[in-house]
Amino acid sequence: MNQSPINDHLRLISIFHYVVGGLHCLCFSFPLIHFFIGLALTISPPEVKQGSEPFPTFLGPFFMVIGGTIVLLGWTLGGLTILSGKRIAQRRSRTFSIVMAAINCLSMPFGTILGIFTIILLTKPEAVAQYEAAQRSTVISQP
């Protein structure tokens, strides 16, 4: 078996993309608490005692919008990171994976580590050759 180290490195980076993408999805699920608190406040606002200030009606939808937005952005980041890992395993969309690596650098500490190693690995000439070979084989195999 003549397996080059670059294949092992690309396989590992791909697996780490799956792991970090899953962590993104998990960690960004916690703002669902805010979403459901906002939903509860919208559906049944707390009773106001006589003579006190009325309950602000914007608070429930505000919690829902902020919590929902954070969850959707986090799940999108996690999904795109997982997709990047799949593309690395298939040796497709190298530019997409580099862009996702740069975006993941903003997510400390695991995303930063993954992003830096991904950028370093995908810019090596051996990795570029792997992607070009995979692209050539895809073009040849299409009718």
End-to-end CA distance of the chain: 31
Q: Kindly tell me the burial class for residue 81, based on how many C-beta atoms sit within 10 Å of its own C-beta (0-12, 13-18, 19 or more).
A: buried
Q: What is the pLDDT of residue 1?
A: 42
Instruction: Tell me the residue type at 8.
Output: D
- How many domains, the chain? 1
Q: What is the pLDDT of residue 45?
A: 80
51 in a structural domain: no
Q: What is the pLDDT of residue 12?
A: 95
Rounded Cα distance between 20 and 12, Å, is 12
Rounded Cα distance between 131 and 89, Å, is 10
117 in a structural domain: yes
Q: What is the pLDDT of residue 139?
A: 65
Residue 141, pLDDT above cutoff 70:
no
90 in a structural domain: yes
Q: Which contiguous run of DSSP H or E holds residue 109?
A: none
142 in a structural domain: no
65 in a structural domain: yes
143 in a structural domain: no
- At 36-55, the pLDDT tens digits run 999 998 998 887 777 778 77
Q: What is the pLDDT of residue 128?
A: 92
Instruction: Tell me the residue type at 137.
Output: S
DSSP helix, strand, coil percent of the chain (3-state; round to 5):
75, 0, 25
Q: Which residues contact 5 (CB under 8 A, 6 or more apart)?
A: none
- At 63-78, the pLDDT tens digits run 999 999 999 999 999 9
52 in a structural domain: no
DSSP 8-state class, residue 53:
P
Domain of 34, in residue numbers? 5-44+59-137
- At 90-133, the pLDDT tens digits run 999 999 999 999 999 999 999 999 999 999 999 999 999 999 98
Q: What's the pTM? A: 0.85
54 in a structural domain: no
